[in-house]
Amino acid sequence: TVGLLGAFLWFVGIPDLTQLQFTRIAFLAGLGGLLLLVSATKSAGPTKQHWFAIPLLLVGELIRYDAVRLMCVVLSPVIIWMLWRCRTEKNARRAVAVLASCLLLGWGAVRFNDWYYARDPDWKDFHPFNILRVEFMDFDHVPYNSQTASAFDSAGWKPVDLQMLRNWAFLDQDRYNTQSLRKILDALPPNHASARPWAALVKQLSDDRELWGLLACGAAVVAILAVDRSARFIPLACFVMSLVTCAVVYRFMHLPARVYCPVIGGCVATALVFANRPRSFGKRRGWVETRWGHCLALVVLGVLIGWRGYASTVPMQTTSRITSRQFKCSPIFSRRPISCTWFGRAIFPSSTSPCP
């Protein structure tokens, strides 16, 4: 169990240590709080885990409330299990009360934040603009083509204006404002956006090493540990909810790795929390408790940890090569030697040759 927990933290922790992305951090903070409540529900006697769950849930909600709501949707089988245990267990009633109170406090904080911004003359248009902006940038619901060109013309936009918006270059408030975005959206013809192809999603997921690592870690958890019989269907139900949620988000919104990887990681963590004994076949003792099984489990975990460590360096190396080429191709630096040292290792080699 300790080895699997360490492997899970290694798989989930690397992206969060190298990419401080608020959606990931908010989801995992809320996940930690919810799983602490699950552990408290499973406890027979008095426990203080409820109190430790409160700051994690609140931090996740303050960072991004939508990420915590997504966590509750994906792990809704866990919440239903907690509600079912409320019939007979005091700890379950406390856990549900803490979760409901934290969600209510988070909702109130979001409403207060919106009210505060709406009262500020310089920021009153920020939230309305941000709600419309995601239709163009995150969700990609507004492409520029022959069908939508007239809608962009109504706001005086050219294709380059849309490209600037998608690259976060929208400081010109005369062109990029709530009125312009609303005018374009209202002028769009029906069925202007084609459905996203499912083949693109399959290719995206198949090329994601982080996702494969999480799935491999989940498979190891299922193979080594057995879930408590009273909740044996909970991890499977969470995984089904993850697949359905990711499919809906991809179809109607946007599904980047910062969303589906924490979602799958939440399913793996759920299986870990609900596990209570080594997996066995028949009436025999757990296979991992035998000498050969113990060695096999250690080898599998070692391979997974080593593979994940190697895979995590590939995106960093790719980014270094891309950044190096951008420096070299710059008119300022193309004929000047470029060198950058990162922890004693040169990642941007010196070069004086111009770009082709």
- pLDDT, residue 108, reads 95
User: CA 102 to CA 104: how far, in whole Å?
Assistant: 5
- pLDDT, residue 47, reads 82
User: CA 192 to CA 270: how far, in whole Å?
Assistant: 40
pLDDT mean values, one per 10 residues, the chain (356 residues): 52 59 87 90 83 93 92 93 90 93 94 91 87 86 86 89 88 88 88 76 85 80 75 88 91 85 87 75 58 62 60 48 43 40 37 39
- pLDDT, residue 284, reads 62
- pLDDT, residue 95, reads 93
User: CA 222 to CA 219: how far, in whole Å?
Assistant: 5
Residues 90 and 43 sit within 8 Å (Cβ to Cβ):
no
- pLDDT, residue 245, reads 92
- pLDDT, residue 302, reads 65
Residue bearing tokens 């950058």: 340
- pLDDT, residue 331, reads 43
- pLDDT, residue 314, reads 53
- pLDDT, residue 209, reads 78
User: CA 252 to CA 249: how far, in whole Å?
Assistant: 5
Q: How far is CA 172 from CA 118, 154, 167, 177, 180, in A?
A: 21, 18, 13, 8, 12
